[in-house]
Chains A and B, each alone.
Chain A
Amino acid sequence: METPQERIDSNSNGSGTGTTVSVVPSNSRAEEYATSDNALETRGLHLWYGEAHALKGVDLGMPARRITALIGPSGCGKSTYLRCFNRMNDMIEGVRVEGRVTVEGIDIFSPDIDLESLRKRVGMVFQKSNPFPMSIRENVSYGPRMTGVHGRGRLDDLVEKSLRQADLWEEVRDRLDNSALDLSGGQQQRLCIARALANEPDILLLDEPASALDPISTAKIEETLLQLKQNYTIVIVTHNLQQAARIADLTAFLMLGELVEVDDTTTMFTNPKQNITEEYITGRFG
C-alpha cells in the first residue's frame, strides 16, 4: 500500500466551491493532510467487537455536500464504519474504538461531546426502514420533539419541509395522522429519510437504504439523494455498485476492515488502482 497522496479534481458537476478532495491512503501520517474541506474524517480508526478486529486503521475523509459511497463485500466493516460517525456502535456490548473521528472538525470521541447533539447533526437512515408505531406526523416530528423543538406550528412546518425534501409530501399530505406502518416499503424508507432531515442535520448517513426496495422505489430514493446533495453531506453504504456509480461523487472500497482504495467515482469504476478493487467491481468476488 504505497499509494502516494493524490489530489483529485472533481469539477465535473460545476458547483464551483470546495471541489478539492483529499484522498488519504491508510498508511499516511495525519498531519500532512488538510482536513478543513472534509465534513467527515477518520484517522487511524480501529474498532474491536470484543476480540474481533473489525476496523483496522481506516484513514478517510469525506467532502462536504458530496455523496460518498462505501462499497465492499459483506462483513468488510462498511456499516460499522458508518456507525462510527454518530457513535451508534457505543451501545453494542464490548465495542472498543481507537483513533480519531471528526465531524466538521470536531473530535466526536472527546469526553465533552454531547451525544444527542451529535446525533441531531448526523442523521442516519437504516437498511430496514424503521418507522415508529405512530402517525406519519409524529414520526417526522419525533427528532425535533425529542431535541427540544416545541410548538405545533413550528413542528408542522418542519414536517412539511422534511417530507417535501424526501419527496413524500404529495403522497401523504392528506393522511399525516394515519399510522406510518400503513405506508408501502419505499414510502416508509423515504419517511425515515424525512424523519432524519427533520432534525436539520448537516450530514446524512445511509446504510444500504434501498437494499430491500423495488427498482422504482430505489430510483425515487436515489433521485431524492441527488437533490439533497446540494445541502447535505451524504455517505451511503451500498451493495449495489450501479447505485454507487449512479449517484456517488466519491467511492471508497473497504475490505476486511481496511480501506483499500478511494477515488472519485468515475475513476474508481473505470480505472481502479488496485487489482483487488477491479476484481470486486467486475464481480469476480463479493
Chain B
Amino acid sequence: MRGSDAATPAMDGTRRGLPSGIAGVWTTALATLAVLAMLAALLWIVAVNAFGWFWPARVTELNLADGSTRIGIVVAREERPVENGEERAVKHRIQLKTGNRELTGADFSWVDESEIASRSTPGDLVRVVRTEYGDAFGRITAAVAADGHSLDATSEAEIGEFLEQGDQWRRERKRLEKEREHLRRPLSELEERLDMAERSARAETPDGLARRAELEAAVERTANQLSQQLDALQVEIDDLGRLTREARLVLSSGAEAIEMPLGNVLEVRWPNRPGFARRAAQAVREGVLFLFTEPREANTEGGIFPALFGTVLLVLLMSVAVVPLGVVTAVYMTEYARPGILLRLANQAVNNLAGVPSIVFGMFGLAFFVYEVGGAVDTAFFADRLPTPTFGTGGLLWASLTLAIMTVPVVVVATREGLMAVPQSWRDGSLALGATRWQTLKRIILPASMPGILTGLILAVSRAAGEVAPLMLTGAVKLAPSLPVDGVPPFLHLQRKFMHLGFHIYDVSMQSPNVEAAKPMAFATTLVLLALVVLLNLTAIIVRRRLRRAYRGQVV
C-alpha cells in the first residue's frame, strides 16, 4: 500500500455540506481575504514600527507660548477632549521624546499644541547616544579635549574625530581590562579553590585547615608575584579613565546644559541635516548596530546581539539533537516495527505529544534535565563546586534538549511520511540485488526520504525558534553575563545561561524599566526573530528543493 500509488481523495465527498452558489463563494472568499489581511497587518505593523525606529527621526525644537523651549523627537499625537463650560472642543497634544533623563527623570513629555508658538528643525540639533541615561537631545555648545583646548562644536568632522578618539580609548581600555583578567587568572583560580575549601564540609577538620592554609599561602605568593604587573596595568587603565572623563561634551537643551564625559558618548547624530543617502546610511548603520552590539541600560538601549546569538545557537543545538532522535524513531516505527496495536499506540502517542502545551515541556525540562540529570552531572563531575550548581541549573544544553523533546514529534511524523513515500519497488530492487536491510536503509531509503526529514526539521525549527515558555524555565535570562561561546576552553559552554530573542521581546516590552522608550526595540526584535525564522526555513527549503530535483518528483 505504501508508495507511489496513493489513492486520490474521493471527489464526491469533498464538497458536501458547504454552502453552494454565489453566497458560498463570497463567504469563503471573504474569510480567506480576512485571514490574508490579518497576516499582512501583522507584518506591516511589525515592519513599520521596526523600520521607523531605525530611520533617523528629525529633532524638533518647540518654542512654547511661555517662552520656554523643548527639544526632542515627536513620537505621537493624540486627541484630548476638553470641557470648557458648555462648550466641548477637541484639542491635540503631542508626545515628545526629550531624552536627557538625568534632568527630568523621564524620556518623554506631553505638550499641548495650543501652547506651541513655533516649531522648527534647525540643522545644529543633535541626538547623542550615550552609555547611560539614554539619549540626549540639544545643541552642542562646547567640546573640550582632554588637554583642555576647545573644538569647533558645529563641525561634524571635528566632533567625529573627537568621538573616534573616545572610541579608541574605550577599546584600549577594554583590551587592558581583558589583559588584566588574563594576567589575574592563576590568582582567580587559586582564590576560587580557597573559597571552595572554606565552604566544603571538611573545612574545619585538620585536613581541611591544612589545605586552607596551603591555599592561602599560595594566593598570597601569587598575588605578590603578580602585583607589580597588575599595578602597572591598573595605572594605564586609570590614565585612560581620566582621559575619557576629562574630555567632554556640553549640550544645551533650552535653558539647561548637560555636560557629559567623552567616555559616555557613543555617537553624535545630526538628523536634521539634509541628504537622503546620509539618512539611509544612518538607518543601515543603526540596524547593523542593533544586530551586532550588546544591550545597555537594562536592555532599554543598545543592540540584541547576545539574544540573536543565543537563539541561533539554541536552534542549532536543538536540530543536532532532534534530527537523529526523530529519524531513528521514525525508521524503527516505519521499517522495523510490526504493525499492530503497539505501533498504533506509539503512533498515537507521538501525535499527541505534538499537541502538549510547550510550558509542560518546560516543566519536564526543569524537573528532568535540570534537576535530575543536571544534578547527577554536578554530583559526578562538579562535586567540588557544590552547592553552587554547574549543570544543575538552567542552561543552553538543557534548553535545547527540552526543545528537541518538544519538537521530536514533528520530525518523526514528517520523516515517517518521507519513508513511506519511498517506492516499495526501490526497496525490493535493492534487496533483490543482495543488499542487506541495513544497506538498503542507508543507501536507498534514507537518502530518498531526506526531503521528508528536512520538512520535519523545518517545522521543528519554526516551532523551536519562536518558543519562549519552556526556555523561561530552562535557562533563558534577561541578561547573560557572557556568550555561551568564547575564547576560554572548552569554547562552547553548554551550561551557561543564554539570551533569546523571544524572551527578549517579552522582557523589553513588559519587564523593562522604561517600557515607553523600549517599545520600538521590541518591534525591531520581533522583526529580527521573524526574519531569522524565515531565513532558517528558506535555507532548508532550498536544500530540500535541490534534493527533490535529484529524485525527479518520484518522492513526495
Give A residues with C-beta under 8 Å from B. 86, 88, 91, 93, 116-117, 119-120, 123-124, 126, 128, 130, 132-133, 142-143, 146-147, 179, 181-182, 192, 195-196, 199
Contact = CB atoms under 8 A, between A and B. Distances in A.
Contact of A128 (B425, B436, B439): B425
Nearest to A181: B552
Nearest to B4: A128
A117 B435 CA distance: 9
17 contacts: A88-B432, A91-B428, A116-B434, A117-B434, A119-B432, A120-B433, A123-B433, A126-B425, A130-B426, A132-B430, A132-B444, A133-B554, A143-B433, A143-B435, A146-B439, A147-B434, A181-B554
Interface of B: 338-339, 423, 425-426, 428-436, 439, 443-444, 447-448, 550-552, 554-555
Contacts of A142: 430, 433, 435, 443
A220 B353 CA distance: 55
A234 to B, nearest CB: 15
Contacts of B429: 126, 130, 132, 192, 195
A195 B428 contact: no
B398 to A, nearest CB: 40
B513 to A, nearest CB: 59
Contacts of A120: 433-434
Contacts, number: 73
A119 B433 contact: yes
A88 B428 contact: yes
A192 B432 CA distance: 11
Contacts of B431: 88, 91, 119
A93 B338 contact: yes
A146 B435 contact: yes
A192 B435 CA distance: 15
Given A179-B550, A179-B552, A126 B433 contact: no
Contacts of B436: 116, 146
Contacts of A132: 426, 429-430, 444
B545 to A, nearest CB: 15
Interface centre among B443, B554, B555 (most CB of A within 10 A): B443
B435 A116 contact: yes
Contacts of A196: 432-433
A133 B554 CA distance: 9
Contact of B433 (A93, A117, A199): A199
A143 B423 contact: no
A39 B197 CA distance: 82
Nearest to A146: B435
B186 to A, nearest CB: 55
A196 B439 CA distance: 17
B19 to A, nearest CB: 44
Given A124-B432, A142-B443, 6 more contacts: A88-B431, A91-B428, A119-B433, A133-B550, A143-B434, A179-B550
A166 B448 CA distance: 27
Contacts of A124: 432
B554 A126 contact: no
Contacts of B447: 133
Contact of A123 (B338, B432, B435, B444): B432
Ranked 7 nearest A-B pairs via Cβ: A143-B433, A120-B434, A130-B425, A146-B435, A124-B432, A119-B434, A130-B429
Contacts of A119: 431-434
Contacts of A88: 428, 431-432
Contacts of A192: 429
Nearest to A120: B434
A199 B429 CA distance: 13
A33 B506 CA distance: 86
A16 B29 CA distance: 80
Nearest to B553: A181
Contacts of B551: 133, 181
Nearest to A143: B433
Nearest to B447: A133
Contacts of A179: 550, 552
A155 B219 CA distance: 69
Nearest to A116: B434
A147 B432 CA distance: 12
Nearest to B433: A143
A202 to B, nearest CB: 13
A285 to B, nearest CB: 27
B367 to A, nearest CB: 41
Contacts of B552: 133, 179, 181-182
Nearest to A138: B443
A116 to B, nearest CB: 5
A126 B432 CA distance: 10
A142 B427 CA distance: 13
A195 B429 CA distance: 10
Contact of B432 (A86, A117, A128, A182): A86
Contacts of A133: 426, 447-448, 550-552, 554-555
A126 B447 CA distance: 22
A126 B339 CA distance: 26
A132 B429 CA distance: 8
A180 to B, nearest CB: 10
